[in-house]
A = this chain, B = another copy of it.
Amino acid sequence: MVLELAILGFLADQPLHGYDLKRRIAHLTGHVRPIADGTLYPAIKRLERAGLLTRRVEPGAGAAPRQMLALTGPGRAELDRRLREPDEMEISDENRWFVLLAFLRHLDDPAARDQVLRRRLAFLRTPSSFFYEGDRPVRAEEVADPYRQGMLTIARATSQAELRWLGEMLGEPE
């Protein structure tokens, strides 16, 4: 799902061959979660079968021939749709959110882009805690374990940095 978004997004940047795509995806998400050949190539096939991309064989640079991949009209439309209407996980899971963010510029409508940022803002503003004692959220000050304290510290720093950035982007007071 997020892989397909990444493929469509990178191809919207420019036509690429599979190997190059693999490298780019590896850097975007893969520094963190490497992507296997057995995942990428079937995904490309799926998208091709769905008519979202085309391939054209070209001589390879110093090796086997390349299959240059390019987005089709429907592919472009599908990217637009996925960026405009991300499902909840693409908003909440930071890994997926970052992939979305990497290609959000491909959404032509500024209002639609802001709408996506506002969904993330709403998510970040909903109170939440990692740990609960029964129904009661355990507050940061109550956590004795230094590792769990670290989690809360780091999570708070991230969330504040992102809230600040979202505030700037949306021209809102924090």
Contact = CB atoms under 8 A, between A and B. Distances in A.
A102 interface: yes
Contacts of A130: 27-28, 31, 98, 102
Contacts of A128: 27, 31
Interface string A37-78: 000000000000000000000000000000000000000000
Nearest to A150: B165
A130 to B, nearest CB: 6
Contacts of A161: 153-154, 157-158
Contacts of A139: none
A95 B95 contact: yes
Copies in the complex: 2
B95 A94 contact: yes
A166 to B, nearest CB: 8
A28 B147 CA distance: 14
Nearest to A88: B34
Contacts of A94: 32, 94-95
